[in-house]
Structure 1
Amino acid sequence: MAERLSAREVLTALADEATFDELPPPARISPPDGPLAWPGYDAARARAAAHTGEEESVVCGTARVGGTRAVLIAFEFGFLGGSLGERTGDRLEAAYAYARQRRIPVVPLVATGGSRMQEGMRALTQLQRVARESALTREAGLAQVAVLRDPTTGGGWATLGAGADVVLALPGAQVGFAGSRVRPADADPAAYTAEAQVAAGAADAVVPPAQLRATLARWLRLLTCPSTTPAPPPEPLGETAVLPATGWDAVRRARSPLRPRAAAYLDAYFTDRVSISGDRCGGADPDGMLCGFGTHEGRTVAYAAQTGTATRPAGYRTAARLIRLADRLGIPVLTLVDTPGAANDAEAERQGAGAAIADVFGAVASARTPLTTLVIGEGGSGGALALAAPGNTWATPDSYFSVIAPELAAAILKRPPREVEATADGLRIRPQDLVELGVIRGTVGA
C-alpha cells in the first residue's frame, strides 16, 4: 500500500517553497445534515474537520512546481474518505474556473473513495460538474496532469483521474473504479493497482514519491510551451550518407540489425523527455510505439516513434492520443516512421487494427499544429503512412517507403521469389525515388 499523506503534506512536498496560495472556498448554506437530512451527517463532518483541520475533502490553490504556476487540487482522504459532496463540487468548479481565467494548468492530486453516501444522488451529480469543468479546460487548451494517490476509486478516478491528459500514479496505490468494499469477493486485488492501470493503458507511469516533484515539474514545463514553428527533422545516425543503389539495397539497409532505431534518435534529438503510455482503451504497445514530449533546442516537441516492429492497435491509438493532445496545447509534433507494417495477426484484428490506424490518419489530417516526419527505417504500407506528415516527410539514406513489402508485392502479383529484388526496383522505394515522385520532401544527411 502506498503511503497516505494528508492534503497539506502532499502540497508541501510538491509546491515550490512559499508559493502555495489557497483559493477561498465558495460559500454554500446547507440544510441541517445535508440535502437528505441524513441523521448525524453534520456531526460526522465536524469530527472529520477536527481530525484533519480541513473544512472539506479538497484543498485548492495555486503554486509553482519547478517554476511553473498551476492550480493544485489536493484531496484529504482523512475527511470522510476524500469523498465528493456538493461543497467539494463547489470547490472543484471554482478551481477549474480560476485556472481558465489565469491560463494555467490543473493538477488534481487524487485520493478519494468516491461520492459521499450521506448526500445521495446530489453527491453523485457532482461528477457531471467535474466532467464539464475538465472538458471546458481541455477546450481552452490547458493541460491537466493527475497524480493518483492511495486510494483513487469511484467517480474521482473516472473523472479527475482518468480524464486528465497525463496520469501519473504512486507505487502501490489502489486505483480502480470499484473500491475495495464493493468489488466482487473473488476479484484479484492486483488488478486494482496503479501498476495494473499502467499495464492496461489507463495511466502513463508509476512514479516513486522521491521523484514525483521533479517529474511533475518536468511535465508542467513541457506542456506549457506552445510553438508554431515546425520541428526540424533529426540528423541521420546511420554510418553512411550514400543513398542506396537499388530498391533491394534500400530494403536490406533498412532491415539491418545494426541500423539505429527510434530510441537512439530520440536520445540524440532531445535534451530531456517524458513518456506517455497507453491508449485509454485497455491496451499499450510499449515495444512498438514510443510517445511523449521532450525539449529540443530549448522548446517543447511532442513525438510518436515506431520502433521497427509491427505496430499494434494500441500503439496507433496512443499515437493518435499524443497528436491530439499536442494539437490542443499548440505543441509541434515529430513522428518517426519505422515499421514493416501494422500487426496483422488475428488478435490485432480483434483489437480493431483498422479503426486504430484510421484514428491516426484522422489525427494527422485534422492537426493544426505543425507535424514533421522522418522515415528512419522501414516504411511498410498504410501502417507507416498513417504517421507521415503530408508535405513535411523526410527520409534517411538507410530507409525505404513502399506501398507494401517487396516480398508481399511479388506474391500479390504472382511473381516467383527470384523476382522479389526486381520488384523492389520497380516499386521505386528508395529515398531518392520518393523525392522524385513527390512523396517526401527530401532526404537528410545525403
Structure 2
Amino acid sequence: MNPLGWPGYEARLARARERTGGPESVSWRREQHAVVLSFDFRFLGGSVGTATGALVEEAFGQARAAGLPLVSLIATGGSRMQEGMLSLRQLQRVARLCAAHRAAGLPHVAVLRDPTTGGVWASLGAGADVVLALPGAQVGFAGSRVRPVDDPAYTAEGQFAAGAVDAVVPPDELDAVLARVLDLLTRGDAVPAEVPRPLGATDLPATGWDAVLRARSPRRPRAAAYLDDYFDERVALSGDRAGGVDPGVLCGLGRRGGRAIAYAAQTGSATTPAGFRTATRLIRLAERFALPVLTLVDTPGAANDPAAERAGVGSAIAGLFAAVAEARVPITTLVIGEGGSGGALALSAPEHTWIAPDAYFSVIAPEPAAAILKRDDVRALAEDLKLRPQDLVELGVVRGIAGDSSAPDSAPDSAR
C-alpha cells in the first residue's frame, strides 16, 4: 500500500478509512439493472491508486459477467501522487476496462460530481457512452490548484457548452434520467424505425418553386414538433466530444411504444461541423447497442463560412457519410423541409429515405444554382432541378412520400 515508501502515507490512509468507513476511494455495488461504481472525495480527494484500480476492475468485471451496464459516480482530484507512476498507470487500466466493456456491447454511463478532474475525467468520465453532470460541478483535466486561471470552462456547464457532456442534470432528477438512459440503451432490436407521419401539408406542390417556398415557410412543422409527435419520451444527447455543439442538430434516444430508437434531426439551419460529428457519434452509439436510427433532414446545406472550414466541415461530412454507409443497424430518413445538397444527403439513408409533402431535396438550392449557371430565372431553374417530392419519387431518389398509403414503411396514426 506504500510502494514508494512515502513518508506518512500509511497514517493518511488510516485516517481516510476512519473518516469514510471504507477501505479505498471507490466502492461498487450490484443493483438490479446496473453495477454502480462510486467515488468518495473524502478519501484522499477521491484519488486513484493501485488498490483503487483493482476495485474499478472488480466493478467492470462484475458488470461484464452479469451482462449489466456500469454507472460511474465520479468525484475525484485525479491520480494519487503518493504512489507515483504506479497510480498514473491506472488510467491505462481504466481505459482498457472501458474498451472491454464496449466490446461486450454493454453501456457505460458516467455521472460527473464535484469535482471531476485529472486523468479520471480524461479516461473513466469522458470515455463513457453517455456523460451526465451535476450543476455547478468542477469538471476539467486541470484541477483548481494547477490550472492557470479560474474560468467557466472548468464547470459542468462549460463542458456541456463545449460538447463534452450530454446533459447537466439536477440532483433530484438524476435517478429518473439515469433509469431512462439505461432502459433505452438496453432495448435495441435492430428493427427499422417507422416513417413519421407528415405534420404539415398533405397535398403536393404544383411547381418546383412552390416546393421551395413551402419548405421554407415559417409555419411548416420543424424537427422538434416531429420528435414530440413521434416519441412517447426522449432523452437528448449533446455534443461532438471534440469541442463543439450545434443547436441546429437534435440527437438522442427515444421511446416509441415499447421500442427504443436513436434519432438525429436537423432543425432548418445550416449544419456545422459539430452537428455532423454529433450525428456521427449518435449513429456509432446506436450501432453498439442495436438501436434503429431515425434521421430527419431539414437544412439549406452545410455551413460554408470560414469558421466551418477551419473546424473541418469537409472531414466532418465525410465522417457522417461513412457512419451511415457502414451502419449495421437500420436507418430510416424523412426529409421534412429543405434538403440542401451534401449537408442534407449526409444524414440520409441511401435506400430508406422518404419525404414529406412540404419538403424538397436538391443537388443545390435554386438561388446558388442560378449564380453558378449565370441565370436569373430562379423559378424556372427550380423546375429544372426536379426537386418536388413527386419528382424525387419518379427519379427513384426517395422511396415514397410520407402519409402516402403506397409507402410500405409508413405507419398510420392508428398504429402508433
Q: TM-score when scaled to structure 1?
A: 0.90
In structure 2, distance between residues paired with 1:191 and 1:249: 46
In structure 1, distance between residues paired with 2:320 and 2:86: 39
Tell me the equivalent position of 1:444: 402
The residue type equivalent to 2:228 in the other structure is D
Alignment partner of 1:267 is 2:231:
no
In structure 1, distance between residues paired with 2:355 and 2:198: 9
> Aligned ranges for residues 124-139 of structure 1 at < 5 Å?
124-139=88-103
Which residue, 18, 36, 52 being the options, matches 1:50? Answer: 18
Structure 1 unmatched runs, 5+: 1-29
Tell me the equivalent position of 1:278: 239
* Aligned-pair CA distance for 1:442: 0.6
Tell me the equivalent position of 1:188: 150
Tell me the equivalent position of 2:30: 62
In structure 2, distance between residues paired with 1:364 and 1:118: 47
Tell me the equivalent position of 1:243: 204
Tell me the equivalent position of 2:180: 218
Alignment partner of 1:37 is 2:5:
yes
Tell me the equivalent position of 1:371: 331
Secondary structure of the corresponding residue to residue 389 of structure 1:
coil
In structure 2, distance between residues paired with 1:110 and 1:331: 27
The residue type equivalent to 1:247 in the other structure is G
In structure 2, distance between residues paired with 1:140 and 1:387: 28
In structure 1, distance between residues paired with 2:327 and 2:39: 35
In structure 2, distance between residues paired with 1:102 and 1:233: 36
The residue type equivalent to 1:113 in the other structure is G
In structure 1, distance between residues paired with 2:100 and 2:206: 54
In structure 2, distance between residues paired with 1:48 and 1:188: 29
Q: TM-score when scaled to structure 2?
A: 0.96
Q: Which moved more, 1:99-108 or 1:320-329?
A: 99-108
Tell me the equivalent position of 2:321: 361
Tell me the equivalent position of 2:164: 202
In structure 1, distance between residues paired with 2:240 and 2:318: 14
In structure 1, distance between residues paired with 2:107 and 2:263: 17
Which residue, 180, 203, 216 being the options, matches 1:255? Answer: 216
Secondary structure of the corresponding residue to residue 424 of structure 1:
helix
Structure 2 unmatched runs, 5+: 405-416
Alignment partner of 1:400 is 2:360:
yes
Identity of aligned residues (%): 68
Runs of 4+ that moved beyond 6 A? none
In structure 1, distance between residues paired with 2:151 and 2:351: 49
Tell me the equivalent position of 1:27: none
Alignment partner of 1:158 is 2:116:
no
In structure 1, distance between residues paired with 2:373 and 2:66: 61
In structure 2, distance between residues paired with 1:116 and 1:266: 46
Alignment partner of 1:381 is 2:345:
no
CA offsets, 1:205-244, max 9 Å, x none? 1111111111111111111101121000100000x31111
CA offsets, 1:267-301, max 9 Å, x none? 00000000011111111012x10000000121100
Which residue, 376, 381, 386 being the options, matches 1:423? Answer: 381
In structure 2, distance between residues paired with 1:143 and 1:153: 22
In structure 1, distance between residues paired with 2:394 and 2:100: 46
Secondary structure of the corresponding residue to residue 190 of structure 2:
coil
Tell me the equivalent position of 2:53: 89
* Aligned-pair CA distance for 1:189: 3.1
The residue type equivalent to 2:243 in the other structure is G
Residues 75 and 112 in structure 2, CA contact (< 8 A), matched pair in contact too: yes
In structure 1, distance between residues paired with 2:97 and 2:105: 13
In structure 2, distance between residues paired with 1:334 and 1:180: 42
In structure 1, distance between residues paired with 2:403 and 2:326: 30
Q: Which moved more, 1:339-348 or 1:91-100?
A: 91-100
Q: How many residues are aligned here?
A: 404
Secondary structure of the corresponding residue to residue 111 of structure 1:
strand
CA offsets, 1:158-194, max 9 Å, x none? 011111111110011110000011111xx13322110
* Aligned-pair CA distance for 1:438: 1.0
In structure 2, distance between residues paired with 1:379 and 1:190: 37
In structure 2, distance between residues paired with 1:74 and 1:379: 46
Tell me the equivalent position of 1:345: 305
> Aligned ranges for residues 101-112 of structure 1 at < 5 Å?
101-112=65-76
In structure 1, distance between residues paired with 2:210 and 2:131: 44
Residues 144 and 150 in structure 2, CA contact (< 8 A), matched pair in contact too: no
Secondary structure of the corresponding residue to residue 304 of structure 2:
coil
* Aligned-pair CA distance for 1:40: 1.3
The residue type equivalent to 1:214 in the other structure is A
Which residue, 243, 262, 269 being the options, matches 1:302? Answer: 262
In structure 2, distance between residues paired with 1:205 and 1:47: 36
In structure 2, distance between residues paired with 1:188 and 1:263: 36
Secondary structure of the corresponding residue to residue 268 of structure 2:
coil
The residue type equivalent to 2:134 in the other structure is L
Residues 209 and 382 in structure 2, CA contact (< 8 A), matched pair in contact too: yes
* CA RMSD in angstroms, aligned pairs only: 0.8
Tell me the equivalent position of 1:143: 107
